[in-house]
Amino acid sequence: IAEAAFMRRLIKKFCSIPKTARTGVIMLTAFSVTLGWIHWGFGLVMASLAGRELAKSFHERKITVHYPILGTAAYMSMLLWHAGTTASAPLLINTPGHFLFKEIGLIPLSETIFLTRNLITCCFLAVIIPIVISLLMPRRNIRTVDQFNVDLADGPRARPHEEKAKTFAEKLERSYLTNATIGAMGAILLLQYFRREGLNLNHNIVNFLFLMVGIVLHRNPLEYARAITQSVGGTAGIILQFPFYGGIMGMMRDSGLGHDIAGIFVQMANGHTLPFLAYISSVLTKFFVPSGGGEWAIEGPVMLQAAKQLGAPVGLTTMGIAYGNMVGNLFQPFWAIPLLSIMGLKARDIMGYCLAVFFFAFPILAIALIAS
pLDDT > 80? residue 248: no
More confident residue, 7 or 18: 18
**Overall pTM > 0.85:** no
pLDDT > 70? residue 158: no
Residues 2 and 231 sit within 8 Å (Cβ to Cβ): yes
Distances (CA, A) of 85 to 29, 79, 91, 110: 19, 13, 8, 12
- Taking residues 148-171, what's their average pLDDT? 67
More confident residue, 254 or 286: 286
pLDDT > 90? residue 169: no
Q: What is the CA radius of gyration of the chain?
A: 22
- The pLDDT tens digits of the residues spanning 262-307 come to 778 778 889 899 999 999 999 998 888 888 888 888 888 888 888 9
Distances (CA, A) of 267 to 127, 217, 260, 309: 36, 51, 10, 12
- Taking residues 176-182, what's their average pLDDT? 90
- Which among 28, 32, 42, 45 has a CA at the least distance from the CA of 338? 45
Q: Where are the domains of the chain?
A: 5-151+234-370, 168-233
pLDDT > 50? residue 338: yes
pLDDT > 50? residue 156: no
More confident residue, 242 or 329: 329
- The pLDDT tens digits of the residues spanning 64-115 come to 999 999 999 999 999 999 999 999 999 999 988 888 888 889 999 999 999 9
